[in-house]
Amino acid sequence: MTSKIRVLTTESIPNAMVSAAVFWGAVVCAIVNVIELEYNIAALVTPSTPSAGSGQIIGGLIAGYLYTGTRREALQAGGYAGSLPILVFGPVALVLHIGTQATAFTLEYTLLQYAFGFLLVYPFMICVGFLFGGIGGFVGHWISKTLT
């Protein structure tokens, strides 16, 4: 299964330019998400609300702007840039978020939260990050083509 995913990922990134665009888009996305997490007013009101949005759009915008190929490939690059930070840092955030509540609930309820989080919320947030990153990649590619 892992080798199939690796082959599909390798086939979907046709050249090294997409990799650099995805890398820089993902770095910007992760930085914006950390800053947004620190200063998010909505998180102070409802701390259980998952957030994927502005960081993914900005990271996708950077990836789409840096990519010089077709619009479809720029959309993919933006999607990858938007979903990679969630893919990498999502489990850590999920464990820390549920772990802070673990002392208030029973073990069964905490395990149910982990199962629900990793089976439903985590894949959903990756898809949302890919969607928002793709939107940013589309806009970034459009800006790049408009300015040249």
Domain segments of the chain: what residues?
2-147
Asked if residues 64 and 80 have their Cβ atoms less than 8 Å apart, the reply is no
pLDDT confidence of residue 38: 59
pLDDT confidence of residue 18: 58
Asked if residues 60 and 136 have their Cβ atoms less than 8 Å apart, the reply is yes
End-to-end CA distance of the chain: 42
What sections of 40-116 are H helices per DSSP?
A: 41-45, 54-66, 71-101, 107-116
pLDDT confidence of residue 137: 92
pLDDT in tens, 87-146: 888 888 777 777 777 777 787 887 888 888 788 888 888 888 899 999 999 999 999 888
pLDDT in tens, 21-59: 888 888 888 888 777 765 554 554 555 555 557 888 999
pLDDT confidence of residue 103: 75
Q: Is the pLDDT of residue 4 over 80?
A: no
pLDDT confidence of residue 22: 86
Asked if residues 96 and 54 have their Cβ atoms less than 8 Å apart, the reply is no
Asked if residues 61 and 134 have their Cβ atoms less than 8 Å apart, the reply is no
| pTM beyond cutoff 0.85 | no
Which residue type does 77 have? Answer: A
pLDDT confidence of residue 40: 53
pLDDT confidence of residue 3: 58
| pLDDT bucket at 10, cuts 50 / 70 / 90 | low
Q: Which residues contact 13 (CB under 8 A, 6 or more apart)?
A: 19, 22, 76, 77, 80
Look-up: residue for tokens 């959903």? 124
